[in-house]
Amino acid sequence: MRITERLGGLPGEFTLKLFYFSFYFALGAYSPFTQLYYREVGLDVAQIGVLATVAGLVMATCGPVWSLIADVFRLRRVLLPLCFSLHLGMLFVIGQVHSFEGLLLIMPINAFFAAPVGPLADSGVVLALGERRERYGAQRLWGSLGWALSNLMMGAIVTAVGVRAIFPAVLLLGAPAVWVTTRLPVGTLAHPDLRQGLRGLLRERAWLVFLLGVLLLGLCIVATTGFVTTWLGEIHGDGQVVGAAFAIGALAEIPVMAFTARLIRRFTARRVLAASSLVYAACGLAQSVTHNPWLGAATQAFRGAGYGLFWTAGVIEAQRLAPRGMNATAQSLFGTALSSAPTLAFTSPAGLIYRDHGAAGLFQLGAGLGVASAMMLLTAGERPNADRRPRTDDRSGYGQG
């Protein structure tokens, strides 16, 4: 089934665009404002770092396992709406807990259900696009639009009625997104050779160097963006500034994602990914010298541009390097290297650096990590003729189940 045909009962690529819009419209009402909630209930920066570390540990260990199960037993279509629904429910529960100890108990459960959602979604969308997988950015940019609109809306609401409004909002806005996950493409995927696939993921140099470069980028992102909400609050930014900052970042993603397909065709996904590391380095440097809240919000345009480049190029590169039939597993490992592992390893140290040396020191460290990531990705080299290898699993489909 080609992407131009009807997918999941809805026409063409509209299904994929609608999914990303509704998915990020829901999460955009919650994610940018969580640190404001943590500070409201009395947590300090180090405690916020501990919560992120615990969540990162669970996602780093459970995400690849969830995705491997989905690949081997072809359960993508069942697991995505199920785990996403439970994730939304746990987000609402977090809003009913007002102590560090309570949040420390709830966060691992939430992370357990959240871990497979992104990899399952992204691998399914790229598979649905088939040989036109460079068009992934044209689908994903609708998520950025939904995120931006949600940030602006919730920023005004948080300023007017308080940060606890985010918890019923994410539940209400998430319900349509869950429905859309059941409308994503259904098709037949290649059955993976588990032993050969795991050997490729553990031993292939091109894949391992790619993950190392992505890991360095993830550390850069933790340092440059992990405490942005706290930083904006310290330079006297309110909920409206926070909402605007994340909206600016999301809006900056949209034109970048729209043109990323052309960039990838011309320069390769690996080089585009390296360029994103340098953009994040520029973001860290700009933040380190900014003391006005609205200028701080404006610096998030760097973050948005970097995100638009790295997420599109990274998803495509992970899919390109994935062993036969192990697309969701490869996407999960990419997400682990980019997010879960850096969050686990570096959020608590980053919180201590922020506390002891200030935001500027942390942001400058992040800029250095971004440069290191770019160097790793640019010097890695590409597997010869990798793009020409047979991809019999690149059919339009999202898995049966």
Q: What is the pTM of this model?
A: 0.76
Domain membership flag for residue 398:
no
3 part of a folded domain? no
**Whole-angstrom Cα distance, residue 246 to residue 264?**
26
Q: Is residue 395 included in any domain, yes or no?
A: no
Q: Is residue 184 part of a domain?
A: no
pLDDT at 390: 40
Identify the sign of the CA torsion 206, 136, 85, 81. Answer: negative
Distance of CA 90 to the CA centre of its chain: 19
pLDDT of residue 326: 80
CB 48 within 8 A of CB 104: no
Each of the 401 residues of the chain gets a pLDDT tens digit; together they read 344 344 444 446 888 999 999 999 999 999 889 988 998 999 987 888 889 888 888 988 898 899 888 888 878 788 999 999 999 999 999 999 999 999 999 999 999 999 999 888 888 888 878 778 788 898 999 998 998 899 889 988 998 999 999 999 999 999 999 999 888 765 445 555 666 767 767 778 888 899 999 999 999 999 999 999 889 989 999 888 988 998 899 889 899 998 988 999 999 999 999 999 999 999 999 999 999 999 999 999 999 999 999 989 999 999 888 887 787 788 888 988 998 888 878 988 998 899 899 999 999 999 999 999 999 998 865 554 444 344 434 333 333 33
Q: Which residue type, as a one-letter code, is found at position 99?
A: S
Q: What per-residue confidence (pLDDT) applies to 192?
A: 59
Residue 400 in any domain: the answer is no
The pLDDT, as a whole number, for residue 29 is 92
Residue 399 resides in a domain? no
CB environment 206-240: b (16+ within 10 A), e (fewer): bbebbbebbbbbbbbbbbbbbbbbbbbbbeebebb
Number of structural domains the chain divides into = 1
Give the pLDDT confidence score for residue 274 in this predicted structure: 96
Range(s) of the domain holding residue 65: 9-179+192-387
Give the CATH number, domain containing residue 297. Answer: 1.20.1250.20
Residue 396: inside a domain, yes or no? no
